Structure 1
């Protein structure tokens, strides 16, 4: 399973609020459309972001899983509600499940593959959510 690193507070808004669009300057590769991914909190925050709420202070960890439903270009950002930005690709997210506890992991740019220990820890936490 691939992971995608996202800066806080955006990753917290995906995992624990209503953010179901990821704004990216690059088009979603077709092979990742309709796939399940891990949502990873970057080591450093987006200092220009303003989001309020809980769970916005976790860094360098997998915090959720989600399905990427597809992507489209947006000139004005209005198509995806308050979370959509203008002049970027919008990647749709669905079936988001927040992990009950984050799994520490070093991230990377773009899509990346976590090691086996991280994947096993994520699976354990997902089983706890399913119970």
Structure 2
């Protein structure tokens, strides 16, 4: 199982709010289409973000799971509501579930492979959607 590091508050907005698109400058690798992934909140916040709400203060931890359902390019960002950026690939997410307890983990750029201990700690949590 792979993980994707996303800066706060975006990671929290994915697992605790309505953000169902991840904006990236690169295409989704074919191997990750329809893949179930772990959502990792990065160590540093996005200082330009203006999202408020609970659960946005967790860093360096796995905080949820999601399925990457596809991607598309957007020139204007309007296709994905308030969460889509212009001139970006929009990776669409489904079956999103927050973990009741964050699992501490050091992340990495792009997709990365967490240790078995980290994956197992995430999978043991009751509210994780069936794999």
Measure how far apart 1:120 and its partner are.
1.0
- Residue 129, structure 1, aligned to residue 124, structure 2: no
SS at match of 2:5: strand
Distance 2:117 2:100 in 1: 17
- Which sections of structure 2, spanning at least 5 residues, go unmatched? none
Which residue of structure 2 lines up, in the alignment, with residue 8 of structure 1? 8
SS at match of 1:129: coil
- Residue 68, structure 1, aligned to residue 93, structure 2: no
Q: Aligned pairs, how many? A: 128
Distance 2:26 2:127 in 1: 32
Which residue of structure 2 lines up, in the alignment, with residue 102 of structure 1? 102
- Which sections of structure 1, spanning at least 5 residues, go unmatched? none
Q: Residues 8-51 of structure 1: CA distance to partner in whole angstroms, max 9, x if unpaired? A: 00000001000000000001011101110000000000000000
Query: Scaled by the length of structure 2, what TM-score is found?
Result: 0.96
Query: Scaled by the length of structure 1, what TM-score is found?
Result: 0.96
Task: List structure 1 segments (4+ residues) > 6 angstroms apart after TM superposition.
Answer: none
Q: Whose helix proportion is higher, 1 or 2?
A: 1
SS at match of 2:50: coil
Distance 1:78 1:12 in 2: 22
Distance 1:47 1:73 in 2: 25
- Residue 29, structure 1, aligned to residue 29, structure 2: yes
